[in-house]
Structure 1
C-alpha cells in the first residue's frame, strides 16, 4: 500500500458524525512510561506502564442541531466513545476509544476565526486501532449482510469491536460481527453482538475473550425480529495480533 494523506477522514462522537466541523485531529496512544532509572545511570531508564491514549484537536464553532458545539459544550462526565476513520473505504484503518472529555476551550483569533480545542482522554481502555467494517457511515434499510474484509489469516487472540449508531427508524435492530474461513460460510462471533437497538443514537464497545478464535474474513451484519426501515451506523473491528491481550 502506498503513502496516503488524511484527506476524506471522518470523526464520530458517540452517535454523531461531526466530521464536517473538525479542523484537525490528533490520535495518541500506548503505554504510559514508568521511570526506573538507577542511581548508577546517566540516562533515563523506562518501562511500559498502564495503557493510555487520547484524541483531541480543533473544531469550528457550529451550534446547529446535531453539530459539534451541542455535543462538546455539555462537557459530559459520563463516558463517550470516539472513532477516527482514516478515509471511508471498507477495511481502512480506524482508531476508537472509550473516553472522558476533559476540556472545550474557545479561541477568537484577530482574523475573526472562532475555534475550539478539545481533548478526549481514554478511560478504562487504551486507544485501539482496528479496521472499518463499514465504508464510513453505512445505512441499512432492512436486515443486511455487509461486505467482508480479509484479515489474511485466522488468529486465536480475541477481538474488540466498536459501534456508532447515528439514526434509527423501526422496531428493533441488532448489529453483529460474523467471521468465515472461506469468505462464503459465515457465523456469528460469540461475544461480538451489540446490544439490540430500539431507538435513538448510541455507541458501544464489546469484546470477546482474549483467546477466542477470529477467522480470516470478517463482516458486520444487521438482524431484526420486529423490522426496521433505516439504520445509519459504523463499525470497527480490532482483531488482536498477539496473545494475552489484557485491559
Structure 2
C-alpha cells in the first residue's frame, strides 16, 4: 500500500540584510582622497608655478605678521582666509599623502559614515583651521609654508575615539557591518576621558607627536618637518567639537554599551 504525499512548495528564504564590508570606503572619504590626489598633480607644473601654488594656498604664519610693512604675499588678503583650509589639501610628496591616507582609512571612514558627506567635509575644514591656528600661535614669524591634511587626520582620530570602543563599533570586539559600527551611541566627553582605552590611545598619540616635535623628524626623502603643533590643534578640535557634528542621538547610558572588559570609568 503506497500513500501519496502532496507536494508542498518550498518556503522562500527570508531576505538577509546586506552587510557592507568594514573596509569599504564611503563616498565622502573616497572623494576627499581623490581631491588630494588630483591637487597633487601640481607637481607636474613648472617649478615657478608649483611654488606659486604653495605660496597662495599653503599656510604661511608670517602672512599674518603685523610688524611687516609694505610686504605683499601672493594671494593678498583673500589668502589670509582661505589658506586656513586650503593648505590641508596640498602635500609635499607621495609619502606624505600615503601616510595621511593610511590613518584616514579606519578613522576617517568611520567618521564619514557617521557624519555623512556634508558634515564630514565641514569637520575636515574646521579641524584643518584649528591646526593652522595652533601652528600660527606657536610659529608667529615663520616664513615656511605648512601643507598637508595631518591636522584634519588627527581630528578624525580624536573624534572617532568618542565611539570607537563602544560595543559594536569598529574598534570593539563585537563589531558588525560598517554602517552599524559607525553609528553606535557615542560616549560623552566626560565618559570618554574616564575610559581606560581612550586614555591609553590619547597617551600614545600625544607621546608620538611629542617625539616627532623634539627630534624634528621628517616625512619621506625630502626635508619636510612635521608641524606637530598643528596635529595637536586638529586633534583637540576633533575631540572637543565632535558633538557639534554628530547626527546620531546621544544617550546617557552609552558607557553601558562598552565591552565587559572595557569599563566606562
Q: TM-score range by the shorter chain?
A: under 0.3
The structure whose residues are more often strand, as a share, is: 1
Greater length-normalized contact order (CA 8 Å, ≥ 6 residues apart): 2
